[in-house]
Amino acid sequence: MMMPGSQHLTDLVTRIRRVLRASVRSEIPWEALPMAQVEVLQRLDDEPGIRISEMARRHRLATNTVSTIIQQMVVAGLVAREPDPLDRRAVSLHLTKQGRQTLDQWLHANQERVSAAMQQLSADELSMIEKSLPALTSLVQSLEADHVQRMDVPTAPPTAKA
């Protein structure tokens, strides 16, 4: 059953992401960084030391796709590969100093845009946004928990129709 307002919320989140991405790109020259690489930086910030295979699983991408993205980021100086202390045959991934600075700049640029836009809202609108933050936080936690649960469930390939 579709919950009332879910489509509107989904549309708004999509539009917020799109407009933030476009406005940051217009101001910051390095922000030609593909969104996949931004998501890798965010994941490494949340989970330093993650392996490529686990990153691929969490993002539901092919390991070779993630490996290619990581290789590009290593060459760009954003990510470091280090021997995994538990398995010397494997590597763990970490943000470099440059990767940390890039992520911090990206987060700051987005924060600046949201703050500037919020300054144009009325006191009542700001209050409504502030009051909605705990509920939105719960929604994100629910989505994250559902995502983790779904990662453990194998997906069936689509069936061919005759």
Give pLDDT, residue 152. Answer: 63
Whether the CB-CB separation of 40 and 69 falls below 8 Å is answered with yes
Whether the CB-CB separation of 66 and 59 falls below 8 Å is answered with yes
- Amino acid at site 48: P
Torsion angle of alpha carbons 143, 144, 145, 146, nearest 10°?
50
Give pLDDT, residue 90. Answer: 85
* pLDDT score of 156 more than 70: no
Its pTM stands at 0.77
Residue indicated by tokens 């705990």: 134
Determine the Cα–Cα distance for residues 106 and 31; give it in Å rounded to an integer. Answer: 8
- Amino acid at site 34: P
Whether the CB-CB separation of 66 and 56 falls below 8 Å is answered with yes
pLDDT range class, residue 104, cuts 50, 70, 90: very high
* pLDDT score of 158 more than 60: no
